[in-house]
Structure 1
Amino acid sequence: MQSASDEWFDEAYYQRYYFDKKTRVVDAQHTQRLGNFVCAYLQYLRVPVRRVLDVGCGIGLWREAVERHFPGAAYHGVEYSDYLCQRYGWERGSVVDYRATAPFDFVICQGVLPYLGPADLKAALANLGRLCQGALYVEAVTREDYEQDIIDETLTDPRLFRHRASLYRRGLSEHAREMGGGVWLSRRADVPLFALESAVP
């Protein structure tokens, strides 16, 4: 039940899941569409975005979307992989216990949480609540995604934990409201919402 070792995220890991066109799980075009959706939604909601944290930023695919939609916003990448920190200059840290001097307006956490065991996941979800004062985007495959045959297991890292969606929602909802599409709005955010815009009160 231990979380992923930092030794997993070496050059070979990123070659397989990011750089090799035959085996990669995400590409720049996918992230561009996703980034356009999420950032446009935040603009619609009128979430002021000046400081952005991409925790588990990988090779930095979100940075372009952030710069395009929020020109002038400061983008900060934090990464657990020592290999990527050396290659791209990210700050080394973990979503479980990363600390900042002030919360961020927009926090991105894509594909990170399923690598955490239950105790670390609980800590990470609480930490995301502390780090975010505006909007949060979370992407994590769940046990239900496997059960409903949504996941292509030939491309997916077999070491991922298969946590229930309810576990993620329970941890995130302590600090944020679910807005749909993986977007959450911090309960600290001063953004007026119509009743039906939020999935739950």
Structure 2
Amino acid sequence: MQSASEQWFDEAYYQRFYFDKKTRVVDAGHAERLGAFVCHYLQYVRVPVQRVLDVGCGIGLWREAITRHFPGASYQGVEYSDYLCERYGWQKGSVVDYASAQPFDLVICQGVLPYLSPTDLALALRNLARLCKGALYVEAVAREDYERDIIDEDLTDSRLFRHRAALYRRGLSEGFVELGGGVWLSRQADLPLFELECLGGR
């Protein structure tokens, strides 16, 4: 099984999933609420955020939230799509092997991982741990979400892999502690969290 092709993420893809009001998967209001939740939670647990990586940044919906909640923080958008790199000036790259000389305080990976084959997914989860020294936000639909019938398949790309949630959690737990709500804390971060703030403990 192969991961998604670069050719999938062309202008037609983003027109359908981001720009067309009838078929888009997220709007500005959703992005604002999600951004406020994640940023406020990180402020609450005292994660210092100066450098942010948004890998698979799409049209850059996270950039406004980062600017609002962490003024002065740098934002690095990375995209697999040639179309978006040309349109928005993002850096070309993939979560599977993107590298940085320095790790980031906050890494965002929204809607990217289900496009990866099991082999590439394992590589990506290990790479996220290398890229992050603070907090990670991950959003990825799992097979259980389909089984519980909470996915609107008319608005969801049918080409996604349906990985089990346990596969994501197992890979992420090597480098992170799960805090809930899609937020994970790097095991490199030395923060005094209560035991019940960490799913499954530290």
Q: Which residue of 1 aligns with 2:192?
A: 192
Q: Which residue of 2 aligns with 1:16?
A: 16
| One-letter amino acid of the counterpart of residue 28, structure 1 | A
- Give me the whole-angstrom Cα distance separating, in 2, the residues matched to 1:38 and 1:5: 30
Runs of 4+, deviation exceeding 6 Å: none
Matches within 5 A, 1:30-45: 30-45=30-45
- Give me the whole-angstrom Cα distance separating, in 1, the residues matched to 2:190 and 2:53: 19
| One-letter amino acid of the counterpart of residue 85, structure 1 | C
Instruction: Give the TM-score normalised by structure 2.
Output: 0.99
- Give me the whole-angstrom Cα distance separating, in 2, the residues matched to 1:145 and 1:44: 29
Q: What is the root-mean-square deviation of aligned Cα atoms in Å?
A: 0.4
| One-letter amino acid of the counterpart of residue 183, structure 2 | V
Equivalent residue pairs, number: 201
**Unaligned stretches of 5+ residues in structure 1:** none
Instruction: Give the TM-score normalised by structure 1.
Output: 0.99
Q: Which residue of 1 aligns with 2:130?
A: 130
| TM-fit CA distance, 1:156 | 0.3
Q: Deviations over 1:74-102 (max 9, x none)?
A: 00000000000000000000000000010
Note if 1:162 corresponds to 2:176: no
| TM-fit CA distance, 1:44 | 0.1
Matches within 5 A, 1:64-75: 64-75=64-75
| One-letter amino acid of the counterpart of residue 65, structure 1 | A
Q: Which residue of 2 aligns with 1:141?
A: 141
Q: Which residue of 2 aligns with 1:108?
A: 108
Matches within 5 A, 1:81-92: 81-92=81-92
Note if 1:98 corresponds to 2:98: yes
SS of 1:42's equivalent?
helix
Report percent identity of matched pairs: 78
| TM-fit CA distance, 1:190 | 1.5
- Give me the whole-angstrom Cα distance separating, in 1, the residues matched to 2:28 and 2:177: 28
Q: Which residue of 1 aligns with 2:48?
A: 48
Q: Which residue of 2 aligns with 1:177?
A: 177
- Give me the whole-angstrom Cα distance separating, in 2, the residues matched to 1:79 and 1:105: 19
Q: Deviations over 1:148-192 (max 9, x none)?
A: 001000110000000000000000000000000000000000111
| One-letter amino acid of the counterpart of residue 183, structure 1 | V
